[in-house]
């Protein structure tokens, strides 16, 4: 659905982040100008075997690349900036973001040798930029990362507010409270449409302040006599600041471990977002000179990622850090859906090492960065939009947020429930889904981007569950007579040395099938392969109730 839209019609097109957690990307277009809001990734689900990250299908943007003028970023979390290197290789346009967000983006682009090729524009809250017919003002909000903003986008049809991720924290760690006055000012002037974060819509009341985590840290640090290992997201600068503050008051030195943790701390310190007393942070190599009661280790790996620093500690194969009795491990982050099993496994291994493990389910060492129900109502009442569209969340979150908007008086016909790929056409008088564009998920596996299809994932899942069987044989290309084999080789199906009779029976099943073939079929290699495949599939399904991947290898002589 390319082409130029008509006068006085704004089109809003989500390419990611609706009906899912992560991969956020929103397109806004008017006439010959397109702006993109956020460009995030999503971490793979259990069935996505071997996949590193998941990003958006940006076919629509590539089809309209001449009209794409800018990418506006609300904050520096991976689900909002993680796909930028992949998008910018296809569509190189200026980026607008706040100072810390740009610092994190620049570090990411360095890895892809893109920093010098991309124009990065720094903005501050209450500043505005103009891109074609769009005038975009940045409004400060609280979240679980510093320098987070919402966007007030003045368009020819009216003002659209995109909240980004937010919560209403009355006592933020950095003292930067959400800009109530600016939201209310827009509400007084008149807001055409509000696009609002739905992640925590199922949670009653208000989300706890980040400072509550600091109070929990104080209590835990006071009773610990051994090393304290804190695992959290490396982008959560406010959380890291609180660890540093409590460590300083407790007389402990802080050691950063994990590449992203070290990099993000360096960026935040350099830009002035992280205040660290002189001498408090020391290198990992200095740990041997400190007593256990003098150490706080800040590390990555709170989600049980297989190669993360904390997982390697839990499995006792970290070269420099050995977890032992007396250590206390704090998992100061939420359990992201899909990661529960890996996190639980890691916790069990940490206990085997003798550590005490404290996590969200048993202690207040994590609070969300997203607004709960009452805060979402406050946003709706401050802005008082004519039209409302829930964003950022699984489908049930979007439905519940749409219903919540009804509770504060927005009429049913003015609430739009959209999904990824929907074209939402907005005028001064109406808003509705009017079409679809191509969208979807692109899998990144190592250096491959988009070369792993759903069929490949299905094969990987099949292999992981039922294993593989190779059947190797040579035949006379003229007569079809079996000259060698079949040799049967299995992996992931059963232990061959303990079940040699199964191999013999499988071989006999193949030979019997080939004997029954007519001479003409025996002369066709493709026909022989298919008959071998069917024969072995029947045999293993009957004897083991399993359906392994069957790979016949036929050599004609």
Please give the positions annotated as active site.
197, 370
Taking alpha carbons only, the member of 73, 428, 37 closest to residue 195 is: 37
Q: Give the strand pairing for 468-475 and 448-449.
A: unpaired
Angle at 529 (CA atoms; ends 524, 532), nearest 5 degrees: 125
Residue 363 is classified by DSSP as: S
Reported as type and span, the H/E element at residue 373 is helix 373-383
CA dihedral 371, 169, 215, 310 (to 10 degrees): 50
Residue 104 is inside which H or E element, if any? helix 99-111
DSSP state of 294: G
Judge contact between 397 and 199, C-beta under 8 A: yes
The span from the CA of 367 to the CA of 15, in Å, is 28
In angstroms, the CA 414 to CA 386 distance is 7
Is 153 in contact with 134 (CB distance < 8 Å)? yes
Q: First vs last Cα of the chain: how many Å apart?
A: 55
Whether 425 and 431 have beta carbons less than 8 Å apart is answered as: yes
Tokens representing 110 are 């360095």
208: left (phi over 0), alpha (psi -120 to 50) or beta: beta
């Amino acid at each position: 659905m390319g082409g130029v839209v008509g006068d006085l019609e704004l089109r809003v097109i989500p390419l990611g982040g609706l009906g899912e957690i992560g991969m956020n990307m929103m397109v806004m277009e008017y006439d010959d100008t397109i702006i993109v809001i956020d460009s995030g990734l999503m971490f793979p689900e259990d069935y996505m075997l071997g996949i590193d990250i998941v990003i958006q299908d940006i076919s629509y943007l590539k089809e309209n690349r001449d009209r794409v003028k800018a990418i506006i970023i609300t904050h520096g979390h991976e689900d909002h900036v993680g796909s930028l290197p992949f998008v910018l290789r296809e569509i190189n346009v200026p980026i607008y973001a706040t100072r810390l967000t740009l610092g994190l983006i620049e570090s990411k682009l360095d890895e892809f040798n893109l920093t010098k090729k991309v124009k990065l524009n720094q903005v501050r809250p209450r500043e505005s930029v103009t891109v074609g017919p769009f005038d975009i003002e940045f409004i400060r909000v609280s979240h679980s990362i510093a320098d987070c903003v919402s966007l007030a986008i003045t368009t020819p049809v009216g003002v659209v507010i995109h909240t980004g991720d937010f919560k209403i924290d009355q006592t933020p760690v950095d003292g930067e409270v959400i800009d109530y006055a600016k939201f209310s000012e827009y509400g007084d002037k008149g807001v055409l449409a509000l696009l609002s974060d739905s992640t925590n819509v199922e949670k009653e009341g208000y989300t706890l302040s980040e400072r509550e985590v600091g109070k929990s840290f104080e209590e835990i640090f006071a009773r610990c006599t051994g090393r304290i290992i804190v695992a959290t997201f490396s982008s959560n600068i406010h959380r890291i600041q609180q660890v540093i503050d409590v460590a300083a008051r407790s007389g402990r030195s802080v050691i950063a471990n994990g590449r992203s943790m070290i990099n993000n701390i360096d960026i935040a310190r350099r830009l002035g977002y992280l205040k660290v007393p002189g001498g408090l942070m020391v290198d990992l190599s200095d740990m041997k000179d400190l007593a256990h009661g003098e150490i706080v280790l800040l590390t990555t790996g709170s989600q049980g990622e297989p190669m993360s620093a904390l997982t390697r500690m839990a499995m006792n194969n970290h070269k420099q850090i050995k977890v032992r009795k007396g250590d206390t491990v704090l998992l100061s982050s939420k359990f992201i859906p899909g990661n529960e099993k890996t996190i639980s496994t890691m916790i069990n291994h940490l206990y085997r090492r003798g550590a005490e493990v404290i996590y969200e389910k048993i202690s207040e060492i994590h609070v969300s960065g997203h607004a709960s129900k009452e805060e979402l109502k406050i946003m709706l009442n401050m802005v008082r939009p004519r039209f409302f569209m829930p964003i950022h969340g699984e489908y049930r979150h979007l439905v519940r947020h749409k219903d919540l908007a009804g509770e504060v008086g927005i009429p049913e016909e003015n609430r739009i429930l959209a999904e990824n790929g929907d074209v939402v056409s907005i005028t001064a008088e109406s808003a509705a889904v009017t079409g679809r564009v191509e969208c979807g998920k692109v899998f990144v596996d190592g250096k491959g981007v988009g070369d792993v299809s759903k069929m490949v994932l299905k094969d990987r899942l099949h292999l992981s569950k039922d294993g593989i069987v190779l059947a190797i044989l040579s035949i006379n290309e003229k007569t079809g007579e079996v000259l060698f084999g079949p040799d049967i080789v299995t992996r992931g199906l059963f232990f061959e040395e303990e079940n040699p009779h199964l191999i013999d029976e499988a071989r006999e099943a193949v030979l019997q099938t080939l004997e029954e073939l007519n001479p003409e079929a025996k002369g066709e290699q493709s026909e022989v392969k298919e008959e071998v495949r069917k024969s072995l599939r029947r045999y293993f399904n009957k004897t083991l109730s399993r359906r392994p991947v069957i790979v016949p290898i036929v050599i004609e002589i």
